Every structure is written in C-alpha cells, then in structure tokens.
Amino acid sequence: MNILILQGSPRANGNTAWMAEEYRKAAEATGHTVTLVDVAHKKIAGCMACEYCHGKGNGACIQKDDMQELYPLLAEAEVLVLAAPIYYFTMSAQIQAPIQRIYNMNKPGKLKKAAMLLSSYSPNVYDGAIGEYHGILNYWGVEDTGIVTAKIDEQKTDATRAKILDLVKSL
C-alpha cells in the first residue's frame, strides 16, 4: 500500500522520530511504499478559515507554504500514519496544523486506513490525541489499524518495536 507518515516532533532524534522510522522500515521490508515527512521542520501555518478552497479555489488552498508539498502525497496516500509527541495532553501543534489544513480536500481521496504513534513522558495522557484521531477517522470513514504509545520507560525499546511491527502486519 502507499503509506504516508507525518512525524510531528521537533526533536529529530527523539522518540516520535524513532517510532516513525521503525514503522517506515517495517513497512518497506514488507513491500509497502512509504513516504515519511518531518512536518515539524516544515513551514505549515494553521487553516485561516477563509473558505477560498470551498469557493473560488476549487479545492486548492490559498496559503502557499510547505503544505503544498504534502497535498499531492495526501492525495495518493492509502494509509496515513500520525506520529506525534504528547504536548499538554494532545498531539503537538506541529502536526495539528497539517491535519487541519486537510480541510480543503475534505478527505484524502484514496485513504483507506490509518495508524497512530504517540510518545509521552507519563502514562495515561493519550485520551485527547486518541479522541481526535478516532473523530477524524469516523468523519472520513477510514479504518483504524491501531495505536502504539510509548511513555518514558517504553521509548526506543524492543517491546515498542515489536508493537510497531504488529501494527504494520495488521495492514
């Protein structure tokens, strides 16, 4: 399948980046086509709610920032993987902006499945991120293939790598 991973931590060698990379390696090893985008180091602004996309823009976003690189990738993606650190009980701002900029597409046209990778310091801090993820998937009619979380003592471990491998196997 054609998989797009959005990595939303500003820490290039951090735990979210590690989880995203493990997912990429496992998916490529099983024959999938994977694009991993480090959205935290892109210039992507929030949606302006100008409604240009639903009017004169005919589906195009008026903001000409790095989101323009993502739109063709989203249009081709069959699987979307959201990889994010937990900041204040939800996904980081760096990944919220590109998610909310999908507003112009309504739903990425070929998307069938999704997965989520979350990293945090503490346990039991995932409800906000998971609630948002499930809400979006229900809205789009996209299947959830699973969620892997890693709190401080679960980061960069063989056990977390095995959970990510299982997630890829469930595609």
Of 69, 72, 77, 26, nearest to 44 by C-alpha is 69
Name which of 18 and 71 has its Cβ closer to ligand FMN.
Answer: 18
Question: Binding string, 82-121, against ligand FMN, x = CB under 6 A?
Answer: ---xxxxx-----------------------------xxx
Name which of 142 and 148 has its Cβ closer to ligand FMN.
Answer: 148
Token readout for 39 is: 């959205």
Q: 94 near 9, Cβ under 8 Å?
A: yes
Name which of 61 and 83 has its Cβ closer to ligand FMN.
Answer: 83
Q: Please report whether residue 41 would count as binding ligand FMN according to CB under 6 A.
A: no
The DSSP code sequence of 88-148 is TTEE-HHHHHHHHGGGGGSS-TT--EEEEEEE-SSSS--HHHHHHHHHHHHHHT-EEEEEE
Q: How far apart are CA 47 and CA 45, in angstroms?
A: 7
Tell me what percent of the chain is helix, strand and coil, each rounded to the nearest 5.
Answer: 40, 20, 35
Q: Which of 9, 63, 96, 104 binds ligand FMN (CB under 6 A)?
A: 9
Among the listed ranges 6-14, 59-67, 140-148, 159-167, the one in contact with ligand FMN (CB under 6 A) is 6-14
Give me the amino acid identity at 72.
P
Residues numbered 125-164 forming contacts with ligand FMN, rule: CB under 6 A: 125
Taking the complex as a whole, how short is the minimal distance between the CB of residue 84 and ligand FMN, in angstroms? 8
Q: Please report whether residue 16 would count as binding ligand FMN according to CB under 6 A.
A: yes
Taking the complex as a whole, how short is the minimal distance between the CB of residue 5 and ligand FMN, in angstroms? 13
Binding site for ligand FMN (CB under 6 A): 9, 11, 14-17, 85-89, 119-122, 125
